[in-house]
Amino acid sequence: MKKSVLSIVVFIGMTCITIAQSPNKMLAISMQTLKDKIAGGWAGKMIGVTYGAPTEFNYLQRINNDSIKWTPADIKGSVWQDDIYVQLTFLMAMDKYGMEAPAVKYQEMLAKAGYHLWCANMQARKNYFDGIYPPMSGNPAYNYRADDIDFQIEADYIGFMNPGMIQNIINECDKIGHIMNYGDGIYGGIFLSALYSAAFFENDIQKVIETGLSSIPAESDYARIVRDVMKLHRHYPTDWKAAWRELDAKWGDVDISGAGSAFNIDAKLNGAFIVMGLLYGDLDDYKTLEITTRCGADSDCNPSNALAVIGVIKGFSNLPPEMQKGVKDVGDSVFINTTYSFNTAVEATYNYALKLILQNGGKVSGDSIIWPVQQFKPAKFESSFPSVVFDNKVSIFSKEKWKFNGNWNVFKVKSWDGKTETEQAMFSKSKGDELEFEFNGTGISLMGNWVKDGGKADIYLDGKYHRSIDTYYNYSKQEHRNISIWHVFQLKPGKHSVKVVVKGEKNKESQDSNIYVTEAIIYKTGAKKSDLYKFSFEK
């Protein structure tokens, strides 16, 4: 594979010089500017996540046309946001075990952290306690959420400490990203980190995005959707809403883990909204925040990433004064379940950046840091769910579709006020009880509950033992209902059968040995809408 070509603008103080990627060319930046840009990145994360937090997942496959209320004082809420504290856990792992520590040490820190987790991170935590470690903990065979947004919103620190060193980013993202993600889920982290890496030296958003694209496989869906946003921006240069509608028509239903609903936490779609905000935001802080937020879906994570790119480009000292003040006011506040504040995170990231620059052949000359342009190749290609298309869902209460053997009972949950009860699952804890389901397709996710009284079961696929599952989950006093308790993809087209056999056994931490089942989600193999759809101006 040919080495990528990267055009970079080198900043020495306020002087800019355009250079091409070459082993004979050098990057240079002042110490003060480097720290200011790192601070701008962390500040952008804090500002953006609080700007969009009130609308998170309130606008699904629709544009947010409502009023947005935000003040710089709201930045104090960033100390409770997972967009910040999860990746600070990884920074703490670097502090404790060293930069070369194996991925399982990072997974262990994540799994044992005192906060709640969701989506791919949640599965990575569960996998750790089930004895499934990186890279398999993020592999789609063991992680139904492999393409989710998790790593995309947690890889910022990697980009912040690798200015102009994209091969470093690709290598580190390959290690850390496979803790919880795979394929497009990892490319989101690489792409965003590469944006930051370029943003240290480039203030042309188009070129920054092109650099990000050069770091990931061109054939990936993530690269395809970013190219689509760039194409839409060229066609609708002043109308982001028209571009959004076309993008949604083509890509709006790509989420595998949210199949059959408007909910979408897929990395690439949310990444596309980041790119849309950057292209239409014209380097304006508030405009970038507003557009990215109004795109909807994960509307706190996306403006957080978008403004972090702007923050690196401009540096903290060039952000609007009221934003600077809002961050400074909480600069020494410690992010929950970490040892870091904004000020100490900036200092640590700066120190790691210096260390990595020196490892890359750099040197300090007076107040300037100088190092060679780093050659890189795009990340290797991998696809989590190739040609996987949602087909249908079958509720456990469609009892004519399921075969029950033994003592299965209805599990009900109470409403928030305790006045009503709703049937939520069928459950059993009796050893030998069986549940059978037949389907026509190439993939299935069996949905149920991970709870503090969850037990163990054996799963048989087409009459053969597939693997055992443990449905206990009470880490950080958190439980999950209607979650994927077992899944499989890439089956031969046709009829298949799944049988759940209750073992009557439990994790030593569990309160009981119950197995809860809520529904089955069926998938087929075929062309995705994004593979067939043409934009209106292409027809």
368, containing H or E segment: strand 368-372
- Residues of the chain with pLDDT below 50 are 1-21
Helix (H/G/I), strand (E/B), else coil: 100: coil
Angle 304-308-309 from CA coordinates, rounded to 5°: 125
Yes or no: say if 445 and 467 are a contact pair by the CB < 8 Å rule: no
CA distance 488 to 510: 26
> Which domains are assigned to the chain?
40-356 (1.10.4080.10), 388-529 (2.60.120.260)
Yes or no: say if 274 and 286 are a contact pair by the CB < 8 Å rule: no
- Cα 132 from chain centre: 20
Radius of gyration of the chain (CA): 24
- The dihedrals phi and psi of 456, each to the nearest 5 degrees, come to -110, 150
Residue 535 burial (10 A CB sphere; 0-12, 13-18, 19+): middle
Helix (H/G/I), strand (E/B), else coil: 281: helix
**C-alpha separations of 284 from 172, 291, 388 in Å:** 31, 11, 39
What are the tokens at 266? 């897929």
Per-residue model confidence (pLDDT) at position 261: 85
Residues sharing a CB contact under 8 Å with residue 135, sequence separation 6 or more, in sequence order: 103, 178, 179, 182
CA distance 393 to 446: 10
Per-residue model confidence (pLDDT) at position 258: 86
210, containing H or E segment: helix 205-214
- The dihedrals phi and psi of 116, each to the nearest 5 degrees, come to -75, 155
> Does the model's pTM come out above 0.85?
yes
